[in-house]
Chains A and B, each alone.
Chain A
Amino acid sequence: MEIWVLFGVFTLLLIIGTPVAFCLGIASLATVLYMQLPPVVVFQQLNSGMNAFAMMAIPFFIYAGDLMMRGGIADRLIRLAAGLVGHLRGGLGQVNVVASTLFGGISGSAIADASAIGGIMIPQMEKRGYAKDYSVNVTVNAAIIALLIPPSHNMIIYSIAAGGTISVADLFTAGVVPGLLLAAALMITAYIVAIRRGYPADPFPGFRMLAYFLVSAVPGILLIFIIFGGVRSGVFTATESSCIAVVYALLVTLFVYREMNWESFVEATLGAVRTTAMVLLVIGTASAFGWLMAFLQVPQATIELMRAVSDNPIVVLLLINVILLVLGTFMDMAPMIIICTPIFLPVIKAFGIDPVHFGVILILNAGIGLNTPPVGSVLFVGCAVGKITIGEAMKTIWPFLGASIAVLLLVTYIPGLSLWLPALFR
């Protein structure tokens, strides 16, 4: 019965349009009252859920992404991408994917990626005769790459949700190959759609210009190596590396590129505060919700249910993926990870699946959910930037969504894609 109060209140509030953070919090509060537990536990869980040193990586990576977007780092990465792949068919679509991969490598937030790259690329693509729906769909799907390419703060959330037992360095490394695979799949899709629609290719700028673009983008790209190298070698913790990313982004945009002024700085800071507060409040209330689910033994019930359905890991993984895809359509990334990790981690462990591998599956899966309405934050941002309705984007998103789901299946059933690279570092 308690469990029905928890899920019932949550679903009801979700339907009437209560923000998800409050759906989770109010459902937890209602359940605690129903069970006659002291209500204060909800707020204790909320506070401890968002108050861990490891959580600080989230505001820092979001902040760094905001600074890089406004301080000229994103522009230079796009220019480099244009030099590299602009001469392929559907050039600007290809540029968009490569730029997202590079920017994802320094910011790690899909929303930052969609607004930074989309903000620059979508108007440019429109000027060159690309339809808006194409530009938006390439942008929002390519933004998901950022979740897999390190640094990804969602990997950190997963590591925390798993009780800190999974190494962030391993998760970061595990995302690299799947991220590149997704980039390749989206480039191929963008190419095929571009041929069908007869989109042009840009001329190759020549190796001299390319070298120039590369040199001017180097300060941004260096950040990938600082963060990845620092975390991988254990010189910095993930939190410290995220803070260094902020300081580095400030130094580069202030003194190397000299494009950061007071207004952009304030805008980036306040923008980061808004985004972070939103993400972390959801994490806090999702922690209270997750604590109640554990208290009500939902994870154990799930294992039994799964065992009743099948004892074949392939079937179980497929089932979990379908559940996650459905949940992902109306849940945002962070609460998905916080709530699903404690439920599914024991399940996949019971079936002998590696937790690092599962982390990559979970994040890619939840990432696809960011592009599916009714709650699809990255799709929303992309549509807002491109000034088209979600309906218009949805009509032609299918090839890109299909490519992402194909990559998800590959990543799910070929563990080596995720686990090969981390094993090399051990």
Chain B
Amino acid sequence: MRADLAALSRILAVVNRTALWIAGIGLVLMTIFVAWQVFGRYVLNQSPSWTEPASLLLMSWFILLGSAVGVRDGNHLGFEIALHYAPHGLRQIMLAVTEVLVMIFGGAMAWYGTELAVETWSAAMPGLPIPQGFDYVPLAVGGVLIALFALEKLVRLLLAGEEVPLVRVDEPHLVPVKD
């Protein structure tokens, strides 16, 4: 059981890392696109029309992938005082409720993101030769990952009693995480 859990966590760690790197590449590309837009306007005297929708699409990707990574690594900022002072059993319940709700939210995001993508698939995106529906794909993928990572934390909490995120009052969440 523990070995299975560890194996699952290793796989999800790779997924997590991949998502983070894709998001990072997205940020770099976004920088290049917008820089190209400025360069095009002032140096080449023509504003490329694809840079704005393309960089917006990249931003959706890296926000939602990055958010999912944040769920797994416990980066999202919250109010932790009550968690800290709650007795052990209650704390487990509070953490479990949070993970279940985050999982449901992620699931809903994936479901309705897919629905939005399907509905708008036949329309063309202004400025780019791809379907409008692409706008909602990050929502769907990010939602799946958020639900998956929340599920992992829930399983680890229930089976191994691991409190992830660890409750840290003195070293709280928003510490920039080093890789």
- Using a CB–CB cutoff of 8 Å, the interface residues on chain A facing chain B are 13-23, 25-26, 29, 39-40, 42-44, 46-47, 50-53, 55-56, 59-60, 63, 111, 115, 236, 239-240, 243-244, 246-247, 266-267, 269-278, 280-282, 284, 330, 332, 373-375, 377, 380-381, 383-384, 389-390
Contacts and interface: CB of A to CB of B under 8 A. Distances in A.
A50 B176 contact: no
A43 B38 contact: no
A273 B105 contact: no
B176 A51 contact: no
Nearest to A111: B174
Contacts, number: 204
A13 to B, nearest CB: 7
B172 A26 contact: no
B101 interface: yes
21 contacts: A17-B98, A22-B76, A22-B98, A29-B105, A43-B139, A46-B139, A47-B135, A47-B139, A56-B30, A56-B56, A59-B27, A59-B59, A59-B62, A269-B27, A270-B20, A275-B176, A277-B63, A277-B64, A277-B70, A278-B75, A281-B64
A18 B67 contact: no
Contacts of A270: 20-21, 24, 179
B3 interface: no
B177 interface: yes
Interface of B: 20-21, 23-24, 26-28, 30-31, 34-35, 37-38, 52, 55-56, 59-60, 62-67, 69-70, 73, 75-83, 94-95, 97-98, 101-102, 104-105, 108-109, 112-113, 115-116, 135-136, 139, 167, 169-179
Contacts of B109: 43, 46
Contact of A25 (B105, B174, B176): B105
Contacts of A14: 78-79
Given A246-B31, A278-B76, A16 B82 contact: yes
Nearest to B28: A269
A13 B101 contact: yes
Contact of B174 (A22, A52, A267, A380): A380
B35 A243 contact: yes
Given A29-B105, A55-B59, A380-B173, A239 B34 contact: yes
A377 B77 CA distance: 8
A34 to B, nearest CB: 15
B38, B83, B112, B174 — which one has the most chain A CB atoms within 10 A of its CB? B174
A312 B75 CA distance: 43
A15 B79 contact: yes
B66 to A, nearest CB: 2
Interface of A is mostly: helix
Contacts of B173: 380
Q: Identify the 7 closest CB pairs spanning chains A and B, nearest first.
A: A277-B66, A19-B76, A243-B34, A17-B83, A19-B78, A281-B67, A16-B94
Nearest to B106: A22
B22 to A, nearest CB: 10
Given A56-B56, A60-B34, A269-B24, 7 more contacts: A16-B83, A17-B78, A22-B98, A247-B35, A277-B66, A281-B66, A389-B170
A115 B174 CA distance: 11
Nearest to B113: A43
B105 A377 contact: no
Contacts of B70: 274, 277-278, 281
B56 A17 contact: no
A375 B112 contact: no
A269 B73 CA distance: 17
A273 B66 contact: yes
Contacts of A47: 60, 113, 116, 135-136, 139
B98 A13 contact: yes
